Amino acid sequence: MKNTKGFTLVEVLVTMVIMAIGLLGLAGLQGASLKNNQSAYYRSQATQLAYDLADRMRANVAEASKGSTSTYITKTPSTAVTKTGCTAVSGTCTPAQMAENDLAEWYSDLDNIFPGNLISIGFAAPIFTISINWDDNRDSNIDNNDPNFQMSFQL
Identify the three-state secondary structure at position 151.
strand
Distance CA 83, CA 79 (A): 13
pLDDT computed for residue 66 by the predictor:
93
What percent of the chain has a predicted confidence (pLDDT) above 90? Answer: 48
The parent domain of residue 130 ranges over: 2-153
pLDDT tens per residue across span 2-42: 666 666 888 888 999 999 999 999 999 998 888 788 888 98
- Picking from 111, 129, 114, the residue whose alpha carbon sits closest to that of residue 67 is 129
* Counted domains in the chain: 1
Averaged over 82-111, what is the pLDDT? 86
pLDDT tens per residue across span 110-138: 988 886 788 889 999 899 999 999 888 77
Question: pTM score > 0.85 for this model?
Answer: no
Higher pLDDT, 88 or 124: 124
pLDDT band at 142 (very low <50, low <70, confident <90, very high): confident
Beta pairing partners, 149: 132
Distance CA 149, CA 131 (A): 6
pLDDT computed for residue 2 by the predictor:
62
